[in-house]
Amino acid sequence: MTDLTKLTIAAARDSLRKGDITSADLTQACLTAIDAADALNAFVHKTPDVAKSQAEAADQRLKAGDTPDLCGIPLGIKDLFCTKGVPSQAASRILEGFKPEYESTVTTQLFDAGAVMLGKLNMDEFAMGSSNETSVYGDAVNPWKVDDRKLTPGGSSGGSAAAVAADLCLGATGTDTGGSIRQPAAFTGITGIKPTYGRVSRWGVVAFASSLDQAGPMTKDVRDSAIMLRAMAGFDAKDSTSANIPVPDFEAALTGDIRGKVIGIPKEYRMDGMPAEIEQLWEDGTAMLRDAGAEIRDISLPHTKYALPAYYVIAPAEASSNLARYDGVRFGHRAKLAQGEGITEMYEKTRAEGFGPEVQRRVMVGTYVLSAGFYDAYYNRARKVRALIKRDFDHVFADGVDAILTPATPSAAFGLGEMADADPIKMYLNDVFTVTVNLAGLPGISVPAGRDASGLPLGLQLIGRPWEEGDLLNVAYSLERAAGFVAKPDRWW
């Protein structure tokens, strides 16, 4: 039965349709695996009763011949997605006890397609972090291990990455504001795609930075990402940034034929101090795509060096605005007041108690850059830089480039606690290869492509044209087949 959890979404879908397995058995296997994996702290709210009920309903649909791709497939849901009647805390104390009366659009679409919810997954508080160490639930732990060091699964979608890599679920939802799907996917040896901004509805997803946030799937391979993305994507009238563009069959695009495709290699991503193994992985990935028939072209994205500072002005600015609603009045945590204290003290105490240090830091930075004396010097200038970064990509794609290949992260997974007390800038540098994609609103995918000297997984990132996720997934599929990454973490938990 435990072998069932090792199935991909595609393999499980085919077996369910044939009647070789049932969703009830598949779901029970996952629930058993989750209970045995508390050491990973990936699932923070388990929902076995919901899962069993949904699995039973899925089996009835399958018997009746109603077989959407995700019918009967057990998934994990990041704690940033509102799920009706189930705690949805964004890993923050300030949303303690919050059980939404509504369902996010993404989870609604997944459940309508017959997917099964196993529970809610750990994450960095309000998606602010690169290591899953800012969560009110405690650290999520990478299933990959070196000696006795516990490693980060990355962030903010760390619980999602750990759960998929450890075969606790067949796929998971993630969100990506500056790399929060792609970086944890690279750290755990799985696949994760951030779609074009507007491809997937943000309605019912707790907001961090509204012009950057985008939900996407985290899966065991590229085909599974294609299957899950199709179910998650689509126009939503409740989200003003949702694009009214048809959703193609992404899985049908996976031919593996990339002959004649032009792959750009940006010189600005060759950074000083880049580890030799990351450099080598990038060269190996380039060779794999060339051998598959793609044309490799050196390109320039000249404003790349300004991306990280621009991101860390824009994202905190939007966060300070979005998080102003958490005041202890309507929902979530409310501080206890001393005799004589009033509404102002209640706001101050509630926010001081409810937000962790990293969230407080970003709210303060965001409030500062939006303040009257600094708005033009910081926020407006960052918006202009963002426009230049997008223009760099527009020029490259207009010049015939189909996709861009870069490293996904500047290193393999690091140890939990190794960066937590360091200069926060060191942690922010983990997003150096990924933030440009969010600033430009482009689709990007991380594919596991190798291992470092310690045996830890390393990922490569592919960046695609807007709305061309099918083409991007096909290039990723070709890279995945050439890399042949099949390694799994040794079970220690």
3-state secondary structure of 299: strand
Count of CB atoms within 10 A of residue 419's CB?
Answer: 19
Residue type for 332, please?
A: G
Residue 214, strand partner residues: 176
Distances (CA, A) of 105 to 112, 205, 239, 429: 10, 8, 9, 32
Query: Which entry of 88, 130, 156, 446 is annotated as an active-site residue?
Result: 156
Query: Which entry of 130, 131, 157, 180 is annotated as an active-site residue?
Result: 180
Residue 154 to residue 160: CA distance in whole angstroms: 10
Nearest to 408 by CA among 215, 246, 201, 180: 180
Cβ atoms 412, 271 nearer than 8 A: no
Residue 410 to residue 187: CA distance in whole angstroms: 11
Nearest to 94 by CA among 328, 362, 287: 328
Is 78 a known active-site residue? Answer: yes
Distances (CA, A) of 169 to 31, 173, 221, 281: 9, 11, 13, 28
Cβ atoms 176, 438 nearer than 8 A: yes
Contact partners, residue 307, CB within 8 Å, separation at least 6:
385, 389, 432, 435, 436, 439
Query: Which entry of 78, 120, 194, 220 is annotated as an active-site residue?
Result: 78
167: left (phi over 0), alpha (psi -120 to 50) or beta: left
Is 23 a known active-site residue? Answer: no
The length of the chain is 493
Is 180 a known active-site residue? Answer: yes
Cβ atoms 315, 491 nearer than 8 A: no
Residue 161 to residue 184: CA distance in whole angstroms: 6
Active site residues: 78, 156, 180
